[in-house]
């Protein structure tokens, strides 16, 4: 009570085709997915978390795109209260937030503001409360 050979070949063909499409989708996702590294620092009062990340992703038209993603979120609810994405040229003078020897994200003592360096000596200070 097996399948006839023609139907079996058709099922194998479509099964392999489906697996191939899935693998192609995974490869494309990995190729175009954004990736990066950075610094995460909680506020002195423990209520907020600030993140500064260098991110790179590929596009079909523009090639590689480089940007900084600066985020402040509520530590309890994980609600993003502030976020900015700063796109820059590949050779721009921007901080490498993955350097663990440097403290990039700086909180005020009362957790009312956080400061991020964004390059060329420019610092961005954000009020949080």
Q: Same structural domain for residues 105 and 57?
A: yes
Q: Is there a contact between 118 and 104 (Cβ–Cβ < 8 Å)?
A: no
The reply to whether 12 and 51 lie within a common domain is no
Is the model's pLDDT at 3 over the cut of 80? no
- Asked if 64 and 76 sit in the same domain, the reply is yes
Query: Total structural domains in the chain?
Result: 2
More confident residue, 3 or 8: 8
Please state whether the predicted TM-score (pTM) of the whole model is above 0.85.
no
Domain that holds residue 20: 1-33
Q: Give yes or no for residue 129 having a pLDDT over 80.
A: no
**Is the domain of 29 the same as that of 86?**
no
Same-domain pairing of 7 and 58: no
Do both 29 and 39 map to the same domain? no
Q: Which of 2-6, 23-27, 31-35, 70-74 has the lowest mean pLDDT?
A: 2-6
42 shares its domain with 20: no
Place of tokens 């954000």: 126
């Amino acid at each position: 009570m097996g399948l006839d050979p023609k139907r079996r070949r058709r099922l194998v063909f479509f099964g392999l085709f489906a697996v191939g499409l899935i693998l192609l989708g995974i490869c494309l996702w990995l190729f175009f997915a954004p990736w990066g590294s950075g610094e995460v620092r909680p506020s002195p009062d423990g209520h907020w978390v600030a993140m500064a990340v260098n991110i790179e992703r590929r596009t079909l038209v523009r090639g590689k795109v480089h940007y900084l993603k600066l985020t402040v979120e509520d530590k309890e609810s994980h609600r993003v209260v502030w976020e900015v994405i700063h796109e820059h040229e590949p050779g721009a003078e921007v901080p490498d937030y993955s350097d663990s020897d440097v403290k990039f994200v700086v909180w005020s003592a009362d957790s009312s503001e956080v400061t991020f360096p964004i390059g060329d000596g420019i610092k961005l200070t954000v009020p949080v409360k």
